[in-house]
């Protein structure tokens, strides 16, 4: 099936540092979504990207839809302790109703 490969698997950073993570696929996606999951909760949408080359920001978060449509990047600037969690990329395949998720990037922020 379709695979979304996320890297890195985990990150340990100091508060105030910037963070970059990415998601790649061997197949083309028409939409890229970035979710964050806090412990014991369901994922929450952070940013949605719908167009190749699109760069979208949401506060300290910035995400880009790769030109090849096979990758996407998420950057977090000036990290804070509440950024801790698991970040997932996701995208719909086939008929746009079948969603695929990456394995996630686990972020730890040291105060």
Partner 1 sequence: NAGVTQTPKFRVLKTGQSMTLLCAQDMNHEYMYWYRQDPGMGLRLIHYSVGEGTTAKGEVPDGYNVSRLKKQNFLLGLESAAPSQTSVYFCASSWDSAYEQYFGPGTRLTVT
One residue of 48, 52, 77, 84 binding partner 1 per CB under 8 A? 48
* 82, two tokens: 């509440």
Q: Is 108 helix (H, G, I), strand (E, B) or coil?
A: strand
CB of 78 vs partner 1, minimal distance in Å: 26
Pick the closer one to partner 1 by CB: 66 or 104: 104
Closest to 68 in 3D by CA, of 104, 35, 22: 22
Q: Does the bond joining 8 to the residue before it have cis omega, within 30 degrees of 0?
A: yes
One residue of 42, 59, 67, 82 binding partner 1 per CB under 8 A? 42
Pick the closer one to partner 1 by CB: 5 or 18: 5
Does position 60 bind partner 1 by CB under 8 A?
Answer: no
Report CA 31 to chain centroid distance, whole Å: 12
């Amino acid at each position: 099936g379709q695979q979304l490969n996320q890297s890195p698997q985990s990150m340990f950073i100091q508060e105030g540092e910037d963070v970059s993570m990415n998601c790649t696929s061997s197949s083309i996606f028409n939409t890229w979504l970035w979710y964050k999951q806090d412990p014991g909760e369901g994922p929450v949408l952070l940013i949605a990207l719908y167009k190749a080359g699109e760069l979208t920001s949401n506060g300290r978060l910035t995400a880009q839809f790769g030109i090849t449509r096979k990758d996407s990047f998420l950057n977090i600037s000036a990290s804070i302790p509440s950024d801790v969690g698991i970040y997932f990329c996701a995208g719909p395949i086939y008929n746009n109703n079948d969603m695929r998720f990456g394995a996630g990037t686990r972020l730890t922020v040291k105060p």
